[in-house]
Amino acid sequence: MFLAILIRPSESKSQSPAQKELIIFHAGSLSVPIKQVAMEYEKRNPGTKIYLESAGSLVCARKVTELKKPCDIIASSDYFVINELLIPDYASWSIRFATNEIVIAYLEKSKYSEEINSDNWMDILQRKDVIYSRSDPDSDPCGYRTLFTFMLAEKYCKKPGLSEEMSSKDKDYIRPKEVDLVALLESNAIDYMFQYKSVAIQHGLKYIELPKEINLSDPSKNDIYSSVSTYVAGNKPGIKMKVTGDYINYSITVLNNAPQKEEAVNFLEFLLSPEGMKIFKSNGQEPLIPFNTEQFDKLPLQLLKYLPETNKK
């Protein structure tokens, strides 16, 4: 059972009968910027109320495919989730619009915080008195991206067995989505967490930046990233699907049967605009410029202006 909390960006005591209600399922790492975008959109469109529901991206997709929950927009931290689980039965297109990178986040009071750096992090984290956390690969792209980081680090640092050692330690501290890890860190339950850089910035955390060869941030290094892979829960119980390493790119779509399809497209038009992307950038979430898609010919006409013609096949 999934416990969801609906976040209402702005409440009003009375609601017009004609008011449009927009429902967005989104990756946990998008919580801060997408809430701010929603609040700004509501100010500009007083007849629209936006409800935000946060979960791991894989869980967001399964809420639609398995639980059949009504939804207008899905914003995923990995384009793979929408392309693999939602297209073509539940959505027809997706737009890649933002990027990120994997970091190791911590607090000043974390054990060995004055000692850890981008060269010795694997040695520090493997100490018995140090606890680190990561998100669940079956629920959240940050989870399987952390596994990719372990695999890539093993190759980059030439340390055979490193990936297995890292993934087998502190399994009791795995959580459904990346933002759940923040609470563990702030409550002193853990010392470190594998996290998106944007989330670390939004919560004022210290963080170690990792080499581009392992942090999944650089499209030019995709030949390195694609050398690793893992299996995660698929779109049916008991089915696994293969996920291959790729640079981090978030994507967004409007579902085929969206209750407020026209309004959903209007919201995306604002989110993808320079004003919307400015909000993302101010929260440490870098826009993916230029935006891109594999389904150019199926995009709503009003969104085509944000996509370069090179996307057209």
Indicate the domain borders of the chain.
20-99+249-311, 102-233
| Dihedral sign from CA coordinates of 189, 127, 248, 253 | negative
Confidence of residue 1 (pLDDT cuts 50, 70, 90): very low
Confidence of residue 13 (pLDDT cuts 50, 70, 90): very low
Per-residue CA distances from 151 to 59, 171, 313 (Å): 24, 17, 34
- State pTM to two decimals: 0.90
Percent of the chain with pLDDT over 70: 94
| Pair of tokens at residue 19 | 């008011």
3-state secondary structure of 142: helix
Architecture of domain 20-99+249-311: 3-Layer(aba) Sandwich (3.40)
Kindly report, residue by residue over 122-154, the tens digit of the pLDDT: 999 999 999 999 999 999 999 999 999 999 999
CB within 8 Å of 278: residues ≥ 6 apart:
none
Domains 20-99+249-311 and 102-233 alike in fold: yes
Over 70: is that where the pLDDT of 8 sits? Answer: no
DSSP 51-110: EEEEE-HHHHHHHHHTS----SEEEES-HHHIIIIITTTTBS--EEEE---EEEEE-TTS
Give 120-124 contacts, CB < 8 A, sequence gap 24+: 121/208, 121/210, 122/153, 122/157, 122/159, 122/162, 122/166, 124/192
The region of weakest confidence among 115-119, 176-180, 197-201, 215-219 is: 176-180
Q: Which amino acid is at 102?
A: I
Confidence of residue 281 (pLDDT cuts 50, 70, 90): very high
In this prediction, residue 237 carries a pLDDT of: 76
Length of the chain: 313
In this prediction, residue 312 carries a pLDDT of: 67
C-beta atoms surrounding 159 within 10 Å: 14
Comparing CA positions, the residue from 12, 26, 188, 8 lying closest to residue 109 is: 188
The CATH number that domain 102-233 falls under is 3.40.190.10
